[in-house]
Amino acid sequence: METLKYFLYLSILLGWRVGNAQTDSLWNPIPQIKISGFLDIFYAYDFNNPETSNRQSFLYNHNRHNEFNLNLGYLKIGVTHPKYRANLALQAGTYVNDNYAAEPGLLKNIFEANIGLSLNKKNNIWLDAGIFASHIGFESAISMDNWTLTRSLLAENSPYYLSGAKLTYKPDSQWEFAALACNGWQHIQKISNNSLPSFGTQIKYTPSDKVTLNWSTFLGTDFPDDLRKMRYFNNFYGQFQINKYLGLIAGFDLGSQQQKANEPPFDQWFSPVIIIKYTMTDKWAGAVRAEYYQDKTGIIVPTNTENGFNTSGLSLNLDYSPSNNILCRFEGRWLKSQDQIFQQGDNLTENNFSLVTSIAMKFEK
């Protein structure tokens, strides 16, 4: 609470400074400062009635059974200028407790903390460093930005955030290229005794406002030097607005990791997903999702079962937006695994069905 209090004091002070400054020869032009926030309150009911409120180990959003809770809330200060930019956001919620469990101390409460510098006169080459959103995938931790309430299996089990440096080049309105060096597969603090940084790339092509094509990669290791197993990962997706009402996202993840330190062979995992969204009116929309995730050897989702994490799923989503900054959502989701991996009371089963509802709001000043 003390950290949040000081953060609010700083927000008010900076807002006053910008509001009262008319000219400042040091900045020329004066940087713009924006204060924003987000809240996502949810209730979930798992029909398997697990013994504990934590539903599934491989889910990190809306992952509590039969209780009202905060999935994610953050408060953010953003600074923009033609030659530099910066963001600082503090967070709380069940998503933070689950997805940042390995981070020490107050690092868990950092949603974003980065500074960016323009490297050329056209301001289309930028270097950003710090903690920032991952370049992988079409879904983020902010539920209002996604087509479905809950996240896809491939999104939940690939990085939401990274800590490092990112070089971005945008030659025109259609193409965007990025190269990254980071502390590993979703780590703020680097793994002990790992001297090798991880790397990533991104190519995004947007030929029109109706089509986006993306290819993101990751290369690195989450092991100390003496046990080093290299991981290679690709994420592909295409987003298409077919007409005024109908949209489609198709995504595919493919990863591999060495079975033994510093030598082949490799274990692999993959995950396809398709989401279809239908916008009925300005206030109402629906979406259906079909997905599959195969990780036989438990690289990403260990199950200690014969077939590993071999899971398919279907979900149906209904959205109501009474205003531009508020979104009310309801989703039914069914998951089916080849092995008994879902807790049902004090037993295990192959099936899982849940209902999740949420009210989310964004605000900015």
- In the numeric block, the tokens 């539903």 are attached to 55
Mean pLDDT of the residues in the chain: 92
pLDDT band at 21 (very low <50, low <70, confident <90, very high): very low
CA distances from 251 to 139, 147, 220, 241, 289 (A): 11, 13, 22, 15, 11
Domain boundaries, the chain: 110-364
Question: Which residues on adjacent β-strands are paired with residue 140?
Answer: none
Phi and psi for 156 in degrees, rounded to 5? -65, -25
CATH annotation of 110-364: 2.40.160.10
Per-residue pLDDT of 174-212, as tens digits, reads 999 999 999 999 999 999 999 999 999 999 999 999 999
Per-residue pLDDT of 63-99, as tens digits, reads 999 999 999 999 999 999 999 999 999 999 999 999 9
Residue partners of 61: CB distance under 8 A and separation at least 6: 71, 72, 95, 141, 143, 150, 151, 156
Token pair belonging to 161: 């955030």
Q: Write down the pLDDT at residue 38.
A: 98
Q: Write down the pLDDT at residue 17.
A: 46
Token pair belonging to 319: 């959205």
Percent of the chain topping pLDDT 90: 87
Angle 250-57-231 from CA coordinates, rounded to 5°: 60
Comparing 260 with 233, which gets the higher pLDDT?
A: 233
Amino acid at 285: A
pLDDT band at 52 (very low <50, low <70, confident <90, very high): confident
Per-residue pLDDT of 306-362, as tens digits, reads 999 999 999 999 999 999 999 999 999 999 999 999 988 888 999 999 999 999 999
Percent of the chain topping pLDDT 70: 93
Question: Which residues on adjacent β-strands are paired with residue 77?
Answer: 35, 88
Contact of 238 with 211, CB cutoff 8 Å: yes
DSSP state of 296: T
CA dihedral 44, 49, 51, 56 (to 10 degrees): -50
Q: How many other β-carbons are positioned within 10 Å of the β-carbon of residue 60?
A: 22
Q: Write down the pLDDT at residue 24.
A: 45
